[in-house]
């Protein structure tokens, strides 16, 4: 992995101001408003970014939602997807520009593969084709879309990029994760919807992956991947398209299920590698929520300091679905020094299914990484795809 760029919409809104919007939209009484504000206070989030300025405004000033009691008629899927088409491309371009700015030696025309990831909007011709035109990518660039997989989808995108670089050592893969979660506010008093409304924000992240590290700065070698599935959580984390946008199911049982499964997931990831959990000092964990981070710490014996990059992203951005773990990796990369060379980095992401994705990365400063192992095929040894900052 050779660089991580990020971008957020211009509307940065404090968490408690969003709570006030939600209380008004849901027409809560005084007691309900107090409970909602308490939920927002303990979320671990201080602010979130959104493409919709309405979350920081009061009724009468809205641009997207109706200026009427109860926000009626409430926006349907068509209106939300029109907003996605409007906002996704410019945000994605900003993230890519931030990524490539870090690699002046990389020409846009040298990119061989484009992977786009999103679970918050779809259309065709889609974001991938629009990015080709907006960035001036070659028309023959190989395009792949990873859609509707949720918060763990960036890991699947990295797996694809890694496979492309294994197959073609000269490949340069651009991965773009763009999520506009705040388009899908649900006007519902159900606990799942109250929680999801309190967590999600908008953002985009772009990554360049190639077979060799960049000329300067730290890189991350994609060393191993492992996917776990907890079928008992099938109904506890889900993402469905309904009449009024995409509806998130996020039950209170999810942190407990992740806590029960994360130890075995880690063991299977590391089983055939010369790395033990006690060797790892750097972590990049998807901050699906404060309780999820705390549950992982309890299961693996980590401290809040070990998880500091995840808490930092949660505090400043909320949960941006697939883009979020890349923000965590970005912040970790910024702290690396030559003394960290060869250090392992453990990363997790979670999503519908209940799916638990794990990956091991290795810090590289220069030279060629000799070994890559997929836990599904540990006999297959090839060069590692790398990311650097």
Peptide bond preceding 134 in cis form (omega within 30 of 0): no
Q: Are 204 and 6 in contact (CB under 8 A)?
A: yes
Is the entire prediction scored with pTM above 0.85?
yes
Tally the residues of the chain. Answer: 389
- Contacts of 126 by beta carbon, 8 Å cutoff, 6+ apart: 116, 145
Residue 31's pLDDT band, with cuts at 50, 70 and 90, is very high
Catalytic residue list:
151
What pLDDT sits at residue 252? 73
Q: Kindly give the residue spans of alpha helices, DSSP state H, lying in 226-300.
A: 254-270, 290-300
pLDDT in tens, 132-181: 999 999 999 999 999 999 999 999 999 999 999 999 999 999 999 999 99
* Domains of the chain: residue spans and CATH: 3-210 (3.40.47.10), 219-388 (3.40.47.10)
Return d(Cα 151, Cα 129) in angstroms, integer: 23
DSSP 56-94: GS-TTS-SSS-SSGGGSSPP-HHHHHHHHHHHHHHHHHH
Return d(Cα 27, Cα 96) in angstroms, integer: 40
Pairing of strands 113-118, 172-180: parallel
pLDDT in tens, 263-301: 999 999 999 899 999 999 999 999 999 999 999 999 999
Residue 192's pLDDT band, with cuts at 50, 70 and 90, is confident
- Contacts of 82 by beta carbon, 8 Å cutoff, 6+ apart: none
Whole-number CA gyration radius for the chain:
20
Q: Report how far apart, in Å, the C-alpha atoms of 128 and of each of 3, 187, 215, 245, 337 are.
A: 19, 31, 28, 22, 35
Start-to-end CA span in the chain (Å):
8
What pLDDT sits at residue 384? 54
Strand intervals (E) in 218-330: 219-229, 237-242, 245-250, 282-285
- Contacts of 323 by beta carbon, 8 Å cutoff, 6+ apart: 6, 154, 177, 178, 179, 203, 204, 205
């Amino acid at each position: 992995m050779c660089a991580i760029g990020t971008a957020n919409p211009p509307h940065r809104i404090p968490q408690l101001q969003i709570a006030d919007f939600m209380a008004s939209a849901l027409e809560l009484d005084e007691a309900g408003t107090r409970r909602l504000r308490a939920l927002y206070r303990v979320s671990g989030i201080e602010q979130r970014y959104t493409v919709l300025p309405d979350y920081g405004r009061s009724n009468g000033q809205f641009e997207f939602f109706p200026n009427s009691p109860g926000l009626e008629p409430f926006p349907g899927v068509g209106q939300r997807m029109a907003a996605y088409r409007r906002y996704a491309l410019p945000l994605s371009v900003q993230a890519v520009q931030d990524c490539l700015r870090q690699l002046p030696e990389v020409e846009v025309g040298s990119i061989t593969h484009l992977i786009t990831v999103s679970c918050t909007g779809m259309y065709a011709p889609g974001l991938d084709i629009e990015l080709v035109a907006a960035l001036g990518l070659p028309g023959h660039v190989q395009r792949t879309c990873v859609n509707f997989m949720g918060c763990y989808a960036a890991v699947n995108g990295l797996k694809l990029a890694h496979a492309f670089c294994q197959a073609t050592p000269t490949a340069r893969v651009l991965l773009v994760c763009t999520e506009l979660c705040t388009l899908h506010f649900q006007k519902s008093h159900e606990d799942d919807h109250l929680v999801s409304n309190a967590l999600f924000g908008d953002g985009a992240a772009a990554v360049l992956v190639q077979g060799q590290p960049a000329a300067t700065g730290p890189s991350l070698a994609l060393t191993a991947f492992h996917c776990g599935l907890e079928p008992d959580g099938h109904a506890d984390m889900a993402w469905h398209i309904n009449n009024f946008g995409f509806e998130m199911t996020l039950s209170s049982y999810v942190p407990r299920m992740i806590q029960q499964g994360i130890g075995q997931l880690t063991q299977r990831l590391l089983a055939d590698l010369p790395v033990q959990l006690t060797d790892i000092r750097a972590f990049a964990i998807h901050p699906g929520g404060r309780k999820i981070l705390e549950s992982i710490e309890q299961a693996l014996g980590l401290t809040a300091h070990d998880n500091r990059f995840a808490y930092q992203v949660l505090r400043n951005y909320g949960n941006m679905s697939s883009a979020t773990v890349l923000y965590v990796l970005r912040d970790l990369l910024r702290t690396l020094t030559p003394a960290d060379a060869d250090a392992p980095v453990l990363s997790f992401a979670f999503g519908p299914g209940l799916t638990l994705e794990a990956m091991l990365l290795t810090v590289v400063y220069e030279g060629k990484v000799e070994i890559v192992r997929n836990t599904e095929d540990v006999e297959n040894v090839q060069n590692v795809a790398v990311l650097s900052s």
